[in-house]
Amino acid sequence: MESVRTLAGMIDHSLLHPTLTDEQLEAGCALAKRYATASVCIKPYAVPRAAEWLEGSVVRVGTVIGFPHGNASLDIKVNETERACRDGAVEVDMVVNIGRVLGEDWAYADREIRAVLAACRDRRAVLKVIFENDYLKEDRFKIRLCEICREAGADYVKTSTGYAFVKDTDGRWVSRGAADGDLKLMLRHAGPAMKVKAAGGIRTLDDLLRVRALGVSRVGASATESILKEARERFGTDPP
């Protein structure tokens, strides 16, 4: 029998959309608290308030660095990380410099990841490194990033921000997000100590169950309530 609480404990409840108001952010934290999700991943300016709203709960405060395009300079990413941790974040999702990755400047990618990781370690925060796989068409980029993250000691590698769109063959702009092929590749190259987070397109209970079956440890989702309501209806266990 599936446990709703176990499934909730896989979810980083995403509160990152630019249109979300402070009232909606507070409501999102209350929802995460009610369901006991793993964390909230909230807009950086709201981290101090999230720490207040979630005080006394099991829900961890997370935020994003260099989001969503990864273009900030290395020192800015480190400063963002330090500030977020001072404000109460204990989980950090950082976007790599995608252009540098595509240019195969692996020394820079390594230096950036290690610098942000060091800032996290100084404050006992978890680091999740976001690849933005929609932009990395060739598997070799994802494999090399997994190797760099594994060697540096990052806690998680993560597929996507959920905010990347690429032009499809029919001219439409689409976002694949957490594609199964990418997840299998990342799981294969993550090694035994590093975990994988799926983000982008996790909207239903079946999406969550599918990526969990692959071996994913965390998911980023904004559809948390509907996913967990569906889980309660299907499994009838662990009501919040």
Q: Report the catalytic residues.
A: 93, 158, 197
Q: How far apart are CA 95 and CA 113, in angstroms?
A: 9
Q: Are 115 and 77 in contact (CB under 8 A)?
A: yes
Residue found under tokens 């079956």: 213
Contact 158, 197 (CB under 8 A): yes
* Distance set, CA 151 to CA 97, 121, 156 (Å): 18, 15, 12
**What is the pairing mode between strands 91-95 and 195-199?**
unpaired
* φ and ψ at residue 157, rounded to 5 degrees: -115, 145
Residue-by-residue DSSP string for 138-161: SHHHHHHHHHHHHHHT-SEEE---
* Region for residue 7 given its phi and psi (left: phi exceeds 0; alpha: psi -120 to 50; beta: otherwise): alpha
Please choose, from the candidates 53, 32, 41, 34, the residue with its C-alpha nearest in 3D space to the C-alpha of residue 126: 41
One-letter amino acid at 204 equals T
Q: How far apart are CA 83 and CA 41, in angstroms?
A: 15
